[in-house]
Structure 1
């Protein structure tokens, strides 16, 4: 089971264990019992007392100042996104539990847009559920369909895993994005249930979740190994949807004139989602994109 209490302390501890002494200019003496920095080393480098830092990690101080957290962030070598996450956790320590945000709904305008777009696109919910998708999205992956969850499929569905040549990088980015999307809201029942399920079912997820990496849910390039057209590289844009909490419109597109654009057009012309690798005919496996 994942621990949903003392989120600030859990984040500090996880990030501290990832920073080795040599990265902050400290010499190594004797046998170290911790994989990264000791608590007293973080405190010293941040200019605070070891006792105060201990209280922060153990959740005994719930009102740390911005200055203290920024000093700790520098010691832990957090980037801008990680620092913002740390500040949000520190500010949210004393808040009362939030209410269930309720069922997510698909705006009518977004549903119409998905139907008219000539590109693979779907609506991603705050817990990475696929809330709506167009047929071109299903042509990329049958899991890009209403009712599926992007996180669960990437970790637990072998067919989805096979789409990603660099599955380890894909899973690391997905978990870091999920952590960032959750922010300080640890009381969302949907997210809590999903984290607990994947923590039990996947060693890889459990390892990544324990790192507490955070990464903004931004667009990026993604390479897929498709069972019908082979490898293609697409740009994946993530656009915020006005009037919704945490929903993103995800759109895939390729560089015009390139091989991936031709393969995307080929998938669109076939008008259906791909078969599994076992179902694909030999002619499909190596078929050129210009057929």
Structure 2
């Protein structure tokens, strides 16, 4: 059991609930704690205060499924949060080993090559960019060497770019919303893979270098990145609104294919076409220079 993380998650979810949210009277008194008190949550879940306190403090292990379900109901957890609670309560090892290098299958590379007109990235479970097409690179990280994705030790990482790279920060008009989404997804993955030393290292690095990451991580928000719409401020073509969708990769559920689309007939669609033409022009120029070399 990752007892420390379990206790932190329980405390964070308890603090976001008010007595009136769960049908408890408030009586107008001033409360010294934000959210529910431990005894109030224990009452709602049907467990003793001492047992619940031990859970939060990491002094009790092997919580039954019935107790976890009762706590999830009392805390009003959604499906993603319920799964996260169970994963934190499971007895699994702490980060001790270096996982194998993530590789992109030939099937996925063939799919990526077929998506010439749609920005696309293949993203690993730690948000490493494992592969991208030309338009995906141009949209998200045109200032980064595109060949880095082919060198596992040097691969760009979406979370690292988002928090530590000023170009990526400037790309998102509503940067805090994108940051919350990425951290919420990292929380899910960390609960699912407590043994992943590289993931633990990434979280440690971001915690050391970004106070904003520390604050968002402490919130214990858990939600997968599935689909969302963002306003971008691209340094080459200007403003556009895009929808990012993350699809599971066949035969490798730990990887996702991030596809970026714009509304048909919109100004953003025209802007995306402008970016595509710009990329094509650079490629034609490069090919021409190579032919005369």
| Structure with the higher helix share, 1 or 2 | 2
- Name the counterpart of 2:111: 113
For 1:27 and 1:272, the matched residues in 2 are separated by 64
Give the corresponding residue for 2:60.
61
Match of 1:14 in 2: 12
Residues 153, 160 of structure 1: 8 Å contact kept = yes
CA distance in 1, matches of 2:185, 2:19: 28
Given the alignment, which residue of 21, 24, 29 partners 1:23? 21
Alpha-carbon distance, 1:34 to partner: 2.5
1:263 aligns with 2:263: no
8 Å CA contact retained: 1:124, 1:131: yes
**Distance across 1 between alignment mates of 2:206 and 2:3:** 18
Aligned counterpart, 1:148: 156
CA RMSD of aligned residues (A): 2.2
CA distance in 1, matches of 2:244, 2:218: 27
Structure 2 counterpart of 1:197: 205
Q: Please say which of residues 23-32 and 63-72 is displaced more in the overlay.
A: 23-32
TM-score normalised to the size of structure 2?
0.84
TM-score (norm 1): 0.85
Q: Deviations over 1:134-160 (max 9, x none)?
A: 110122122675211110111111111
Q: Is it true that 1:233 corresponds to 2:241 in the alignment? A: yes
C-alpha distance in 2, partners of 1:77/1:256? Answer: 38
More displaced stretch, 243-252 vs 148-157? 243-252
SS where residue 266 of structure 1 aligns?
A: helix
Find the aligned partners of 1:162 and 1:267 in 2 and give their Cα distance: 17
Q: Which structure 2 residue ranges, 5 or more long, are not aligned?
A: 150-154, 283-293
Matches within 5 A, 1:1-291: 6-24=4-22, 25-27=24-26, 30-90=29-89, 92=90, 94-97=91-94, 99-118=97-116, 119-142=118-141, 145=146, 146=149, 147-271=155-279
CA–CA separation in structure 1 for the residues paired with 2:206 and 2:131: 23
| Structure 1 residue 272 displacement after superposition | 6.8
* CA positional deviation for 1:5: 5.2
Please give the alpha-carbon distance, in whole angstroms, between the structure 2 residues aligned to 1:188 and 1:5.
17
Distance 1:41 1:87 in 2: 22
SS in 1 for 2:192: coil
| 2:130 alignment partner, SS class | strand
1:126–1:245: 8 Å Cα contact kept in structure 2? no
CA, structure 1 residues 59+88, in 2 after alignment: closer, same or farther (shift >3 Å)?
A: same
CA contact (8 A) 2:247 2:256 kept: yes
- Unmatched tracts of structure 1, length 5 or more: 275-291
Asked if the contact 2:171–2:232 (Cα under 8 Å) also holds between the matched residues in 1, the reply is yes
Distance 1:152 1:262, change over 3 A: same
Displacement, 1:173?
0.9
